[in-house]
Structure 1
Amino acid sequence: MRIGTLVLRLVVGGVFVGHGLQKLTGAFGGPGLEGTEQMMEKTGMTPAARNARAVALTETAGGAAIALGAATPLAAGGLIATMLVATQKVHWRNGFWNTKGGWEFNAVLITALTAIAADGPGKLSVDAIRGRKRGGLRGALTALAVGAAGAVGVVQLAKGAQELAAEEHSAAEARSADGSARDAAL
């Protein structure tokens, strides 16, 4: 049995559960959903409420799945997606080191999740009980592909929502201006 994989799964999964609960409920001094929505709004991740719930639930449920060794490549992929989006939207511009708000911690978590997916969840896991022994290169590539696709998809959906909101705002302003011009003409 690989004790190292079990320890890594429990720690990494536990960290994600904690971060997810911070966002979801305000546990451990976190911002809760309201604060997470504000963060989403500031980073252009609209609609903010949907994205706040999505990241909070992904981190909580995905972290629990990693800790339990359940649906390991998929859970790792979902969590990798959250780290890639956080890196792009918040941390990249601050450089590498975490002391300056950089992406160091995100890189470590992405690497740990990829390693867990590559090694498989181990014998003491839900996946092993269910007879699923995904791991190796296929497990790692699955996690990375799911993570990359998820991150690109979420960012593109937010960009599309921003563009749609801007178009709706412009159309509303045009209707308002038309109405004001008609009223002035009367």
Structure 2
Amino acid sequence: MSWGRVLVRVVVGGIFVGHGLQKLKGSFGGPGLEGTEKMMESLEMEPARENALAVALAETGAGAGIVLGAATPVVAGGLIGSMVTAVRKVHAKNGIWNSNGGYEYNAVLIATLVAIAAEGPGRASVDAMFGKSRWGGGGGLFALLLGVGSSFAVVEMGKRAAEQKRLADNDGES
């Protein structure tokens, strides 16, 4: 079943690479770094420029890591963090269904990434070259906890930085 794992890794990882390049370079009709920075500002993810660059690089790099099957639980955790943050900041208020702007697609990607981390990337992977074609339940749990934890940390830091920015702007108006 190794070919099935490779197929899932290439499709899911490739989609994340494309999604990251949309944010980073404006590829595939994306907003580019400037547009991603504006989105981060609107979501109170300060500092906006740094968060825009971080998400763009994380999605691009971790997507490539999934494709290659390299450090699978770690890169899956990074992508899960991005998806959990998207759900929390953008999609949750719209309910589950994607047709209403909900988190259906994000949930499928999160579940797929947990499964990839748990089941491992298979024999045709970088991880397998180091004896880790399968990570087991611990790998999946690690990826999920890393993703959820990093999302909560980044959102909280963004809120605090946005509040500090508002206070600084108000002091400048006095």
Scaled by the length of structure 1, what TM-score is found? 0.90
How is 1:20-35 mapped onto 2 (pairs within 5 angstroms)?
A: 20-35=20-35
Is 1:106 the equivalent of 2:91? no
Aligned partner of 1:180 in structure 2 is none
Name the CA shift for 1:133/1:3 in 2 (closer, same or farther; >3 Å).
closer
Aligned partner of 2:126 in structure 1 is 126
CA contact (8 A) 1:73 1:134 kept: no
Is 1:88 the equivalent of 2:88? yes
Q: Identity of paired residues, percent?
A: 57
CA contact (8 A) 2:125 2:133 kept: no
Name the CA shift for 1:171/1:134 in 2 (closer, same or farther; >3 Å).
farther
Unaligned runs of 5+ in 1: 177-186
Q: Which has the larger radius of gyration?
A: 1
Q: Distance in 1 between matches of 2:152 and 2:39?
A: 19
The AA in structure 1 aligned to 2:35 is: G
1:70-105 C-alpha deviation (Å, 9 max, x unpaired): 000000000000000000111111111111111000
CA RMSD of aligned residues (A): 1.2
1:37-90 C-alpha deviation (Å, 9 max, x unpaired): 111111111111111101100000000000000000000000000000000111
Aligned partner of 2:37 in structure 1 is 37
Unaligned runs of 5+ in 2: none
CA contact (8 A) 1:65 1:72 kept: yes
Scaled by the length of structure 2, what TM-score is found? 0.96
3-state SS of the aligned residue for 1:122?
Answer: coil
**Count of residues in correspondence between the two structures:** 174
